[in-house]
A and B are shown apart, each in its own frame.
Chain A
Amino acid sequence: MKAVITVLGQDKIGITAAITKVLAETQVNILDISQTIMQNLFTMVMLVDLTKLNCEFSRLGELLEEAGKKLGVEVRLQREEIFTSMHRI
């Protein structure tokens, strides 16, 4: 199963590190990362593979949200199908 993680918020040092730390601990493989600053907003979109995920999907969501809260950024974990179904025919 693949999912998309999006991180949005004020740019600061350590955002990527904090998020990827959670992913490493939960055995999530990053397939692609795109990171940019859009209208002063730190924007990171990651495509990840969850085949080896060592916890529940919902738990991963909580861990990412917690990590985001500490940094003051919004983190979302969503199954990739929602994006493929909306934007690809």
Chain B
Amino acid sequence: MFNVNDVLETISMIAQENLDIRTITMGISLRDCASDSAKIACQKIYDKICRYSQNLVKTGEDIERDFGIPIINKRISVTPIALIAESSDTKDYSVFAKTMEDAAKSVGVNFIGGFSALVHKGYTKGDRLLIKAIPEALSTTERVCSSVNVATTRAGINMDAVREMGLVIKECAEKTKDQDAVACSKLVVFANVPEDNPFMAGAFHGVGEPECVINVGVSGPGVVAHVLKKLKGADLGTVAETIKKTAFKITRMGQLVAQEASSRLNVPFGIVDLSLAPTPAIGDSVAHILEAMGFEKCGAHGTTAALALLNDAVKKGGVMASSYVGGLSGAFIPVSEDAGMIEAAMCGALSIEKLEAMTCVCSVGLDMIAIPGDTPASTISAIIADEAAIGVVNHKTTAVRIIPVPGKKEGDVVEYGGLFGKAPIMRVNPFSSEEFINRGGRIPAPLQSLKN
């Protein structure tokens, strides 16, 4: 028989502390869908996505009911479209985005990721066309997510791509200025991108992945914050130990759901992503975990150290709980999607510079940060370059998902609603980086020895 306290602990994690499975993401390879006719390629893509994922949403709902654990999102990631579209005769890749959108609608998933290109060392013809199509693709679809990898530790940073992504982000913002630049919230610029990430907007199905795979992302900042509140005054060794144990329990749930989904859908289980993913809901905030460790506001000096502890403890606990761990696996610090981060940014405790420092010790990067609409493209590129440098030098994934909201200035607030939350417009350093960004070229891969 069960220990009654164990049963009640699980139930209270779900009912009171917002423990949930954030996403079941089905990765689908589209490598066999290429064709010299864009029309045929799109048909093949549509058919394949629908065929593989037709039961995804229903299976997710069944698991939710059987185990009594909420599964918030069911999503799809596909092979980076640049690789598939490249063989086709068209120069306008937004048709592929429309196909992805149609397929996503048809199977009932809320996001589909993979309108992506990998250009860390240079562009192919297809990469160029795909990046050019991003603003059109993201402004004419709702569910399609896009990502571009501009740097890796082994290849260095492609500064031409960094420069271009600044312009692309500005164009995305301009094309959706009536909706507060919502297109930018579906575009991530990566360094060292993982191939099996289940979280949007950066998910795609990497080239080393199998035909079809199930990846799961868990979420439980509320659970961690709750246990920490009970540890007032305890030393940090105890804090780390407690987070580890909690992360273990949370991840076990993810592992169970991943295995169950994989066997019901008859698709191999890929990975569980250990990330602590916040939502704008009260009690589901990573910032509040950090504050529970002893800060007046997230962003105060010491926050980076606390985040390093949190991130490491989550991984240590999670790794043992799952047979395969992957994706981004860390603590997310998106500003607009985290009630505590929003508060901290609004009262001036949290700046972009502090967030940048925090990304050195956790996944994933400058995420969901709204900035003034008149920020120059070169400054956005420079922000991307800084993040990419952090990722490349420290062998970690970093990313930028930044939203220059047209017509808005520092101190304004943008409401997106739902999981995207609301974003205070943050201050950007007003001094120019233009000459640096205009140089272009590549920053060479960093030395792997003589570490300091």
Contact = CB atoms under 8 A, between A and B. Distances in A.
Contacts of B2: 4, 34, 45, 47, 80, 83, 87
B256 interface: yes
Given A83-B2, A85-B252, A45 B66 contact: no
Interface string A3-36: 0101010000000000000000000000110101
Given A82-B256, A86-B249, A86-B252, A43 B67 contact: no
A45 B8 CA distance: 9
A87 B260 CA distance: 18
A4 B8 CA distance: 11
Given A47-B1, A86-B252, A79 B66 contact: yes
Interface string B58-77: 00000001111100000000
Given A57-B66, A76-B68, A87-B249, A82 B10 contact: yes
A2 B405 CA distance: 53
Given A85-B253, A86-B10, A87-B10, A78 B4 contact: no
A78 B67 CA distance: 5
Contact of B7 (A4, A57, A77, A85): A4
B4 A45 contact: yes
Contacts of A34: 1-2, 4
B219 interface: no
B68 A78 contact: yes
A82 B6 contact: no
A28 to B, nearest CB: 15
Given A57-B66, A58-B65, A82-B69, A43 B4 contact: yes
A36 B7 CA distance: 13
Nearest to A34: B4
Interface residues of B, number: 21
B14 to A, nearest CB: 9
A85 B256 contact: yes
Interface in A30-62: 31-32, 34, 36, 38, 43, 45, 47, 57-58, 61
Interface string B78-107: 000000000000000000000000000000
A83 B8 contact: no
Contacts of A85: 252-253, 255-256
A45 B260 CA distance: 24
Interface in A67-87: 76-83, 85-87
Contacts of B3: 87
B134 to A, nearest CB: 41
B4 A36 contact: yes
Interface in B318-353: none
Interface in B1-30: 1-4, 6-11
B4 A82 contact: no
Contacts of A80: 2
Interface in B378-432: none
Interface in B259-289: 260
A32 B4 CA distance: 11
Interface in B40-74: 65-69
B70 to A, nearest CB: 12
27 contacts: A6-B11, A31-B1, A34-B2, A45-B2, A45-B4, A45-B7, A47-B1, A47-B2, A57-B65, A57-B66, A78-B66, A78-B68, A78-B69, A79-B66, A80-B2, A82-B67, A83-B6, A83-B10, A85-B252, A85-B256, A86-B249, A86-B252, A86-B253, A87-B2, A87-B3, A87-B6, A87-B10
Given A4-B7, A87-B3, A87-B6, 12 more contacts: A6-B7, A6-B8, A8-B11, A32-B1, A45-B4, A47-B1, A58-B65, A61-B65, A78-B69, A81-B260, A85-B256, A87-B10
Interface of B: 1-4, 6-11, 65-69, 249, 252-253, 255-256, 260
